[in-house]
Amino acid sequence: MLVELKNTTKKLCVIGDPVLHSQSPLIQNTMIAALGLDYVYLCQPVPRGMCKPWLECAKFAGYAGFNATMPHKEELVPLMDELDRDAALIGAVNTVCIREGRAIGHNTDGEGFLRALGDLGVDAAGRTILVLGAGGAAKAVCLKLSQAGAKVFVCNRTVEKAAELCKHDPLGRLLPANFELETLCRLAAQADLLVNGTSLGMAGTGGQFDDFTFLDALPREAPVVDLIYHPAETELLRQARLRGHRTANGMGLLIHQAILALEHFTGVPIDAGEMGKLLQTVLRD
């Protein structure tokens, strides 16, 4: 991939700790090249707790914006001059636009997930959804699912975290629960969709589900979505596929949140269907 650099080229980046594994530079520079935009997207390690000096530095250096990954999404919230509705709702910022020295915080994770569901032909309105996990990714997903009109059971190993997440829902459609097998079976039987927002099944240190028999209680028509995209098929997705469920991994979310972020940075509308196809090929290689 070749990005042409000029003196006028506007700078973007992703910050995180760690961040060198991030796919964002590949994704964003692919889109920038495909759209012929005068931007470049870099990878910038920023240690935990250093968002304030980084933001000053980014403003001074003339960055047009940046994305944030772990562990910076919450730390950025009070540093923003302006927050959009989703960033305020979710209490986390993954996209910062810098305009005339002002930092505007967005969160594209929740909307990115809803768009990925749309690609599967799933409309969350009126559905009952079982989400496993109550970490940062699950929070964005659950709050947007509620906003989209779904009732969501939020099952988490640390049930207090699920309860805390549910308190943030202004619509009261999120219901906390524990992660016991019996609970998962009972709630799966009522679900139209199951989403894994835990790190169980992730390559590396993600760990694994002890038991998949809760999938036997899930109605066959209910799709199973994993937010994890590495590996491309987690054991949860494999078990669901073997039981006849439609499945999808987290690649849809990864792609849609990035497309939405680039639209915020540049103001250029992007054909998500066409761009998604291009990104799928780049990320598969």
Residues of this chain that bind ligand NAP (CB under 6 A) = 133-138, 156-158, 161, 179, 197-200, 202, 206-207, 227-229, 250, 253-254
The alpha carbon of residue 228 and the mean position of all alpha carbons in its chain are separated, in whole angstroms, by 10
Residue (109 or 192) nearer to ligand NAP, CB: 109
- With a CB cutoff of 8 Å and minimum separation 6, the contacts of 188 are 130, 194, 214, 215, 217, 218
| Per annotation, catalytic residue among 73, 139, 144, 151 | 73
Q: Rounded to the nearest whole angstrom, what is the least distance from the CB of residue 190 to ligand NAP in the complex?
A: 21
Q: How far is the CB of 198 from ligand NAP (least distance, A)?
A: 3
Helix 109-119 to helix 251-266 angle (10° resolution) is: 120
Least distance in angstroms from the C-beta of 153 to ligand NAP: 14
| Nearest to ligand NAP of 98, 105 (CB atom) | 105
Q: Nearer Cβ to ligand NAP, position 130 or 227?
A: 227
CB of 185 to ligand NAP, least distance (A): 16
What is the SS3 assignment for 109? helix
How many Å from the N-terminal Cα to the C-terminal Cα in the chain?
12
How many other C-beta atoms can be found within 10 angstroms of the C-beta atom of residue 160? 10
Separation CA 202–CA 192 (nearest Å): 24
CB 215 within 8 A of CB 240: yes
> Which of 109, 106, 71, 70 is closest to 85 using CA atoms?
106
Q: Which is nearer to ligand NAP, 69 or 128 (CB)?
A: 69
What φ, ψ does residue 127 adopt, rounded to 5°? -85, 160
CB of residue 63 vs ligand NAP: minimum separation in angstroms? 22
| 96 touches 68 (CB < 8 A) | yes
> Is 6 in the active site?
no
Kindly state the smallest distance separating residue 61's Cβ from ligand NAP, in Å. Answer: 27
DSSP-derived 3-state class of residue 197: coil
Comparison of 98 and 226: residue with beta carbon closer to ligand NAP: 226
Give CA separation, 274 vs 35, 232, 270, 277, 280, in Å: 11, 21, 9, 5, 10
Q: Which is nearer to ligand NAP, 98 or 137 (CB)?
A: 137
| Number of residue whose CB is nearest ligand NAP | 135
Report the catalytic residues.
73
